[in-house]
Structure formats: structure tokens, C-alpha cells
Amino acid sequence: MKRILLFVLLSLPVLVFAQRGDFLLNGVIHHLKTPSKIYLNYLADGESVLDSAVTDQGKFTFKGKIGEPVLAEIIFDHRDEGAEKLGIKGEANFTGDILEEIDQRTDHILLYLEPGQFSVTAKDSIKYAEIKGSKLNEEYHAYLKYIATPRAAVAAVLRKFVYASAEKKQDDDFNFLIETEYDMSFSKLKSRQLIYIKSHPDSYFSLVALTEPYLNEELNFQELAPLYKDLSARVRATALGVMVAQAIEDAH
């Protein structure tokens, strides 16, 4: 499955026109007393950024400069395995979409970085951390909750295939079953996302939903245009919104 179109769009040079601001992310893992490595991985202005911090009594801090909101991943290295063993290659190569649901190799959480100060608080696993001080992340998790049931169903089908044996993956009946289950669950997810887009015209994540490949794969630009047009002026004026508008115009 191709990478999320969001990252393709966010790699375009137009982002250099976005006003950059400082972000400060303060984190704490309450039950962690020994020093451990935490990674922050994101894409900004078309460049991959991989930052790391060592916890002090469970506390860690990340700071930097960004323009428009960017999707990021925080990874907690429980066993001090190092970035390479964890599959972190210094590239923002996570998808940010349904594929993250089937990645059980690392303790990680997705969130949005935006200018300002906010916090990430966890008991022992970063996966279940609470994010405070960021309205955008509140909106993000509300969106994820809205599509949670069909999204989990799609993830379950993909997980069944990914963790199947090599022999099983060569079985035609198994592949037919996977394809059938995927099509059914995907259709429900797509319908749920479309409802969200139409009922939340002022949500940044309506725009994100339009650019996610498992929705966009079955939408041509003629279908995409009216959905985009119905979004609020505020959402369409974001850097991502401007780039989507350009993509629609270029497709005609």
C-alpha cells in the first residue's frame, strides 16, 4: 500500500511559505525510573527529522520549529535496542494511516506537532499516553475515535495477512478470503470517513481524510473537488488545503 498522500503533499516546497513557530513537547512516563531512549520522528518542510532524548526520572523534552501541523511519531525504546533495531532509519517513513495499527513491534504513538507547548503523559507505555495542551491533538483523537470501529476492522484483516506464514500467503483461497474481508471492511471505513468529512467541514482532519490513500484510491479528482469545496475557508487556507486545491486544479 502506498504511503499516505498527506506526506507526499507535505513534502512540496509550498510549505516554506508557512510561518514557522517553536514547539515544546514535555513528556513523562511515571513508572520509568531508569534512563531510557525516546525518539521523535517527523517530516517538516519536506525534510525528515529524527530527534532523541534520554529520560531523567521518566521525564523527557523535545523542541524545534515547524510551520503547519505535522504528523509525528514518538517511540519508546524499552530495552535500549537502538534506532536501527527498532526499524527507525532517520526517515519519517511511518504512514500515519491504518498500517500503524498492525505495527506491534514498537511502543509508539502518533500525534501532531504544532507551534506551542503541550505535554505527553504515560504510566508505563507510550502507546496509551495522554496528550494535553493541544487542541489539534484533541481533534485528532476525536477523529480517530469517530472512525475507530471500521478502522480496527480493516487493521484486523491486514494484520491477519501480514502475520500469516509465507506458505499461507501463497494459498489462493486464503488470499481470496483476505481480499473479500478487506473490501467489506474498507467500504465501511470509507463510508464513515465520508460522513465525517461532510459533517465536520471546519475540521482539519476532514482534509486529512481526503488525502489518505485508503480513501483517495477510490476517489478521482472530480469526486474529490466538491468534497474539498464544502470544507471551511479556514481549512482550505492551510498549507495542506492549498496543495490539495492545486492538485485538483492540475488534474483538470
Range of the domain at 101: 5-132
Judge whether 25 lies within some domain. yes
Residues 176 and 128 in one domain: no
Kindly report the number of other CB atoms within 10 A of residue 227's CB atom: 18
The predicted-structure confidence for 241-251, as pLDDT tens digits, reads as follows 998 898 888 87
Nine cell digits for residue 8: 507526499
CATH code for position 37: 2.60.40
Residues 32 and 122 in one domain: yes
Gap between the Cα atoms of 132 and 109, Å rounded: 14
Is it the case that residue 46 has pLDDT exceeding 80? Answer: no
Please give the mean pLDDT across all residues of the chain.
84
User: Judging by DSSP bridges, how do beta strands 37-44 and 47-54 pair with one another?
Assistant: antiparallel
Sequence-distant (≥ 6) Cβ neighbours of residue 245 within 8 angstroms: 228, 236
Closest listed residue to residue 248, CA positions, set 234, 231, 228, 230: 228
Closest listed residue to residue 240, CA positions, set 31, 15, 3, 2: 15
Long-range contacts formed by 150-153: CB under 8 A, 24+ apart: 150/185, 150/188, 150/189, 150/191, 150/192, 151/98, 151/101, 151/189, 152/101, 153/185, 153/188, 153/189
Residues 107 and 153 in one domain: no
Judge whether 139 lies within some domain. no
Q: Exposed, middle or buried: residue 104 (CB in 10 Å: 0-12, 13-18, 19+)?
A: exposed
Is it the case that residue 126 has pLDDT exceeding 90? Answer: yes
How many domains, the chain?
2
The predicted-structure confidence for 74-91, as pLDDT tens digits, reads as follows 999 998 888 777 777 655
Which amino acid would we find at residue 102? I
Residues 153 and 74 in one domain: no
Judge whether 137 lies within some domain. no
Sequence-distant (≥ 6) Cβ neighbours of residue 45 within 8 angstroms: 15, 16, 67
Residues 244 and 152 in one domain: yes
pLDDT of residue 96: 52
Judge whether 109 lies within some domain. yes
